[in-house]
Structure 1
Amino acid sequence: MCEANHTQITQVILLGFQGLNQFKPLFFIVALVSYVVILFGNLLIVMLVTTVDRLKIPMFVFLKHLAIADVLQVSTTVPLMLNIILVEEMVLSVVGCFAQLYFFGVFVYVQCYIIAAMSYDRYLAICTPLRYASLMNPQVCFQIAVGLWFFGTLMLSSEMIVLCQLSFCGLNYIDHFFCDFAPVVELATSDKSHFLIQDFVTTLFMIPLPFVFILMTYISISVTILKMASANRRKKTFSTCSSHLATVCTSYGSLITVYVVPMDYNIANINKYRSFLYIMVAPLMNPIIYSLRNQEVKRALLKVLSNFRTTL
């Protein structure tokens, strides 16, 4: 409850990127072009995996779900960010702020666990090739993907229930370009200890746990590859993991930079740009990584383009 001289806030003011001055048009153009490329690249992957039969294998099915999560994540934050760059400040209702916070968190969860599922797929394909078809069949792949979306939704829902029970009185300024967890929690004026414990556990499940799982799968994969007698076979087997490894480095590198490396709240602008890089880099790089490094995606894209030309 709020004290007598304070009222429960109903709106929050996002301060956005202050001090851009003459760089505002350039920053807006960079963000807009990046957003368009992210949408085009990820939706292209979704279309290819959905329509091309040769791509309907577990690795690419998981890639499709990763692309969907990437599109939803940037669409939750970037359109509002573009508006804030132009007008410098943005007023949001508390409900709208919490909704953005919730959906952003769900999509980040799904991204982390889909990447972990992709590493599990590579582990089964390389370490247990004779059992791969039975362990990772289309039905199992579908169940894993749906389960990960459900798990992400459940985890964030439980956290948001506790967050909504906190009191937010007095100040309603958020020095950020979207409603991220840390700046929103800073506004709470009631006891946050129980929420912070739950948030720590939730973050543990979001970043360290799937990352450790990925490390364990790749340790097993590396041991299996090193045991192969043929150097050519070792190289060919490792190449099947290269695109996924690049995705792991891009996604977790930017994620750890924002949510694990301690932030200095005295340099809020630097923290905002770190968040901007996380939101934009991984969704931008993933389609590029899989388009340039994966021959199956290249062949599928050429086939679709060829069929499109013949219909004209």
Structure 2
Amino acid sequence: MDGRNHSAISEFILLGLSNQPEQERLLFLLFLVMYLITVLWNLLIILAIKTDSHLHTPMYFFLSNLSFIDICFTSSTVPKMLVNHISGNKAISYSGCLTQVFFFSWFAGLDSIILASMAYDRYVAICAPLHYTMIMTPKFCAHLVAVCWFWACIDALIHTVSLTRLSFCDHNEIPHFFCDLSVVIRLACSDTFFNDLMVYIVGGLTAVMPFIGILISYTRIFVAVLRIPSAHGKQKAFNTCGSHLAVVCLFYGTIIGVYFNPTSTHTAQKDTASAVMYTVVTPMLNPFIYSLRNNDMKGALKMLFTRKPGLSL
């Protein structure tokens, strides 16, 4: 049944991050710069990996996918917010809101599962190095990424379709800068038990289960690293995993804090601050974390810049 038959409203109002004109202008410039940096640096990561044959390995294959997903993830929310600031119109249509929920949920789920896939790759590389090339084959990696995309899409579809059964009456003001699933659910004037259940069950499979997988992988990695007799070998192993762990902490810390805490602990300010972290800040920091701590990526980026004038040849 079509969701519009249940909803008495045709649009939502995104209240954004501030009601003060001066603050809004500052926030517009800040988010525009952050968005451009996110897109540019993630594209550079993808191009560097694509053009450097030394980086055609499973780890960098997953990293290039993560960079592409981060571009899509931040693009599902920030451009609409920037348009709202320019136009002065904070409205988003009912269908537009559902579309934003779908793509936001899809790419957020993808981020989560890809990070788990990267943890598994590091686990095999460190704990089973002799079998690494046999396990992490190009075909296996491609299939794993395809499963990630499909799994996350189903998760997003379930959440989006379940929203169409809710009634919103006159409650159409969203205290956020995008249509966040948990916030939209709390606006409903009908029973939200099923939707909340789907957030915990289906969302849990996409966020919590991969997180548990990451914890198990890194527990085994740390045990294996501690057994390495060489101090240089230990440092190299920790450096390999350090970037990924930093990204994991940034992403999962805010996601779990927002979606898997009791509803009574939620406030609009807390949810918005957390959302800014995982929708804007984390995708912007990811390429810096991976490139600044990785000599291979530094070399690939340097080669990309030095070859740039000759790309047309």
Fold shared, TM-score > 0.5 on shorter chain: yes
* SS of structure 2 residue aligned to 1:238: helix
After superposition, the Cα gap between the structure-2 partners of 1:56 and 1:7, relative to the gap in structure 1 and judged at 3 Å, is: closer
2:191 match: 191
Task: State the AA in 1 paired with 2:32.
Answer: L
2:137 is aligned with what amino acid? Answer: N
Counterpart of 1:231 in structure 2 is 231
> What is the SS of the residue equivalent to 2:13?
strand
Residue 307 (structure 1) shift:
2.1
Query: CA separation in 1, counterparts of 2:176 and 2:36?
Result: 22
Taking structure 1 as reference, are residues 254 and 176 closer, same or farther at Cα in structure 2, changes over 3 Å only?
same
Instruction: Verify the 8 A CA contact 2:119 2:218 in the aligned structure 1.
Output: yes
State percent identity of aligned pairs. 37
Residue in 2 that maps onto 1:105: 105
Deviations 1:210-266 (A, max 9, x none): 111101000100111111122222222222112111211222223234333456688
Partner in structure 1 of residue 177 of structure 2 = 177
**Structure 2 contact 239–293 (Cα < 8 Å) conserved:** no
Please give the alpha-carbon distance, in whole angstroms, between the structure 2 residues aligned to 1:172 and 1:310. 53
Counterpart of 1:69?
69
Secondary structure of 1:12 counterpart: strand
Aligned residue for 1:118, secondary structure, equals: helix
Q: How has the CA–CA distance of structure 1 residues 257 and 199 changed in structure 2, closer, same or farther, with 3 Å as cutoff?
A: closer
Cα deviation, 1:15-36, whole Å, max 9, x if unaligned, reads 2223334222222211111000
Q: Does residue 256 in structure 1 map to residue 256 in structure 2? A: yes
| Deviation string, structure 1 residues 181-226 (Cα, Å, up to 9, x no partner) | 1221123233222222122102211322111110100010011111
How has the CA–CA distance of structure 1 residues 47 and 142 changed in structure 2, closer, same or farther, with 3 Å as cutoff?
same
Distance 2:42 2:263 in 1: 30
Distance in 1 between residues matched to 2:7 and 2:99, nearest whole Å: 21
SS at match of 1:171: coil
> Gapped runs of 5+ residues in structure 1?
none
Could you tell which deviates more after superposition, 119-128 or 291-300?
A: 291-300
Mapped to 2, the partners of 1:233 and 1:309 lie a distance apart of: 38
Does the residue aligned with 1:178 lie in a helix, a strand or coil? coil
The answer to whether the Cα contact below 8 Å between 1:43 and 1:67 also exists between their aligned partners in 2 is yes
The structural deviation recorded for 1:86 is 4.6
**Structure 1 range deviating more: 42-51 or 285-294:** 42-51
- Check the 8 A contact 1:14/1:89 in 2, yes or no: no
Q: Distance in 1 between matches of 2:175 and 2:231?
A: 54
TM-score, scaled to structure 1: 0.91
Kindly state the Cα deviation for residue 309 of structure 1 after the two structures are TM-superposed: 3.6
**Unmatched 5+ stretches in structure 2:** none
Residues 165 and 132 from structure 1, CA distance in 2 versus in 1: closer, same or farther, beyond 3 angstroms? same
Q: What CA deviation, in whole Å up to 9, does each residue of 1:76-122 have, x standing for no partner?
A: 10011123345565111111100000100000000011011000000
TM-score normalised over the length of structure 2: 0.91
- Paired with 1:186 and 1:108, the residues of 2 have a C-alpha distance of 20
CA contact (8 A) 1:16 1:89 kept: no
Match of 1:299? 299
Cα separation, partners in 2 of 1:311 and 1:269, compared to 1, 3 Å: closer
Q: Identify the residue that residue 163 of structure 1 maps to in structure 2.
A: 163
Aligned to 1:212: 212
Q: How does 1:1-312 map to 2 (within 5 A)?
A: 8-86=8-86, 89-261=89-261, 267-310=267-310
| Offset at residue 158 of structure 1 (A) | 2.2
> 3-state DSSP class of the match of 2:130?
coil
